[in-house]
Amino acid sequence: MRLCLRFALFLMIGDLATCALSAPRAPQEATDYASHFNHGQELFKQMRFHEATAEFREAAQINPQYLPAQQALVVAYVMTENLALAWKQVRLLHQSNVDLPDQLLQEMLKILPEAEAAKQLEDIERKLAVAQQAAVEHVDSPALQAALGTALSKAGDYRAAQEAAERALQLDPVQPEAHLLLGNMLSGEPPNSEQAIPHLKMYLQNVPRTTDTAKELAQTYSRLASIYTRTGREAQSLATLEEGLKTAPENDVMLNNAAWAYATAQDASLRNPPKALDYARKAVVLSKGEKANFLDTLAEALYANSLFDEAVTTEKKALALEPRSPFFPNQLKKFQAARPAKAPTP
């Protein structure tokens, strides 16, 4: 998910969470579900999104009519990149005549249309039933316990998913799918992302390199590189991206991220403007020029190579795709200011 969307949604939870309690309840019942909801709010503010989701789920299960928890689950599922479950929550709230912010729904539509989400949800439920049956029948199989963890995670039960992954690792400490699950759950949460690194590295070291694992491999390299970038380890981030590109040389996300790093690295010794431009052009071609952030990266790479007019033209294309971006207008001004002043006409 794009970082700007994650940040916007992180702010949006504040508005949803201020909803008043629904009809008064018996003191003990109110204490139970409100306690879970309040704990979820605190965890969410700490960006511990999976743990927050578990608390919101618990509150909603204790009192399904408690709308603040049901609303919070929409945002929590989006933040944990589980759009199918988020759309399920949206439908549930619509049945209670509860509207959600248009901005949130529009962003969700960009990532996953509601009709496609319904199809995914059917597949998630089917695979969960199969995984649960297999795990019960083969309790000593680390692969099947890990597969159960993956299925539970896609079904939004993150607490049970973590427990299943940990069972798998007790049976086999290098089980790839279990490490991938734990790494993915932790990597998007700044307080926990450092804990994700060994899990992601163990996955990369032990997963078979096949066509079936190619997509997950590329995503894992990208996740690991993103953690290194967020924590200021630029050299490790670039090394990870370059290693990933050996496995997936036409992965547009890794090409884009590497291009940005080569164009903008704080460590000047890591900058490589020609390579940034080469990678950025490839990313734009592979994405058919339809991703605004890739066009912005290309504009930045053009700027780094002193191709200022082309940078301005490219940034305008990015802005046309995302006219509400708070970042692109400043980029455009920077590129425009870099162009040499034209001599006056005699």
The structural domains of the chain, with segments of one domain joined by +, span: 3-112
* Burial degree of 212 (CB within 10 A; 0-12, 13-18, 19+): exposed
Supply the pLDDT for residue 344: 54
CA distances from 332 to 213, 323, 327 (A): 39, 12, 9
Q: Which pLDDT belongs to residue 103?
A: 81
Q: What is the pLDDT of residue 105?
A: 86
CATH of 3-112, one of 2.115.10, 1.20.1660, 1.25.40, 1.20.1440: 1.25.40
Q: Which of 296, 261, 254 is nearest to 276 (CA)?
A: 261
- Dihedral sign for Cα 104, 109, 114, 117, please: negative
pLDDT at residue 300, rounded to an integer:
98
Would you state the pLDDT for residue 345?
52
Secondary-structure breakdown of the chain: helix, strand, coil percentages, each rounded to the nearest 5: 75, 0, 25
What residue ranges of the chain have pLDDT lower than 50? 1-5, 7-8, 11, 13-15, 17-25, 27
Q: Are 74 and 107 in contact (CB under 8 A)?
A: no
Cβ–Cβ under 8 Å, residues 229 and 202:
no
C-alpha–C-alpha distance, residues 40 and 235, integer Å: 36
Q: Please tell me the predicted confidence (pLDDT) of residue 30.
A: 54
- Dihedral angle, C-alpha 24, 27, 30, 34, nearest 10 °: 120
Q: What does the pLDDT look like over 66-112, one tens digit per residue? A: 999 999 999 999 999 999 999 999 999 999 888 888 888 888 888 88
How far apart, in whole angstroms, are the C-alpha atoms of residue 127 and residue 122? 9
pTM, rounded to two decimals: 0.86
Looking at residue 20, its pLDDT comes to: 34
